[in-house]
Amino acid sequence: MKKILFFDVADYEVEFLNKACEGKFEYQLIKEPLNGLFQLSKEQEDAQIISCFTTSRIPNDILEKFKNLELIALRSVGFNHIDIDYCKKNNIFVENTPNYGNMTVAEFAFALLLDVTRKVTYSANNLKNSVVDAKCTIGTEIFGKTIGIIGLGAIGSEMARLAHGIGLKILGYDLREKEDLKEKYNVQYTDFETLIKNSDFISLHSPLTKENYHLFNKETFKLMKPTAFIINTARGELIDTQALYNALSENRIAGAGLDVLESEDTLTDVEYLVDIGRMSPQALQKTVLNNRLMKSDNVIITPHIAYDTREAINRILNTAISNINAFVEGKIQNNVY
């Protein structure tokens, strides 16, 4: 019987995981993330399978403690919190849960767009403080304007559907063009620079790669309209935080809606909260900038929750358990490398 450790287990996951594992596996449900602060027992180090969310951080020095580890069953799409190179070298499979939140994330991206352009959160917070100033709450209509969607995979395609439905013109940038998006939603594929220059709103839906790290930087922001807004529900590292802060501070763009940030884990991760010395100088700089951005009137930041709906959570759990069951039967599915 395989031994499985589930980390980052939320209360709403307990019933599902108990039903899925009872009698099939030797398993343990652990609320805490797996990171440098978690003390593994000798019994836990014998686990063949571990399952975690992105709040766990698993570098090679933690992986080395698991002498019998065969599979990391992620309850997420992203896997940059895992030392993939170590896993490759040691024949540890890493399986994720793709396509659980295509519509979910797109809806949230659109919610951020509406929020930041119509100053919903800003106005609500002002009202809580008995402040009502009509001059400061003047928003921007989105109907008839142009949205640039960078990355038209599963999530970006859903964003195009929503944008088309509300009457936006759509520019798209992707390595592959989808004819159905052109036909259904009038997506006009174009080059990156043309999209940046002509979009009133830009929404990022690309995976993070070496090639698009800091895709939005000082030079990119110079190309944007001063009335443009940027939305990011993809990966924080697609945007250079310093360049974004400067662009907003100097009124070179109008605003930003962000569900992801560079060094976002330093804002809430207990490892950093109990010992700031664990931060690199670069992470510390990003953290200071992130805190400044959160105080900006033309920025809304949420804590990486675009995926977070009941429906998406059920899809995540079902796929993660399916991955585990298949692995035990000798089948590999959704391996990330």
Residue 280 has a CB neighbour count (10 Å cut-off) of: 10
Q: How many residues does the chain have?
A: 337
pLDDT at position 300 is 97
Of the candidates 98, 74, 75, 72, the one whose C-alpha atom is nearest the C-alpha of residue 87 is 72
Determine the Cα–Cα distance for residues 74 and 64; give it in Å rounded to an integer.
Answer: 18
Q: At what angle do helices 11-21 and 310-328 cross, to 10 degrees?
A: 30
Cα 263 to Cα 7, 58, 215, 306, 333: the distances in Å are 21, 16, 16, 17, 30
pLDDT at position 276 is 65
Two tokens at 133? 């100033």
DSSP assigned state of 156: H
Q: 95, 235, 237, 262: which is the annotated catalytic residue?
A: 235
pLDDT at position 274 is 57
Two tokens at 141? 């209509």
DSSP assigned state of 216: B
pLDDT at position 41 is 96
Determine the Cα–Cα distance for residues 235 and 81; give it in Å rounded to an integer.
Answer: 13
Q: Is 264 a catalytic residue?
A: yes
Q: Is 235 a catalytic residue?
A: yes
pLDDT at position 271 is 65
Q: 57, 262, 264, 315: which is the annotated catalytic residue?
A: 264
Q: 75, 81, 205, 304: which is the annotated catalytic residue?
A: 304
pLDDT at position 89 is 97
Q: Is 304 a catalytic residue?
A: yes
Which domains are delineated in the chain? 3-100+310-328 (3.40.50.720), 102-301 (3.40.50.720)
Two tokens at 256? 């930003």
Of the candidates 151, 149, 256, the one whose C-alpha atom is nearest the C-alpha of residue 206 is 151
pLDDT at position 264 is 87
Residues of the chain with pLDDT under 50: none
Determine the Cα–Cα distance for residues 65 and 80; give it in Å rounded to an integer.
Answer: 20
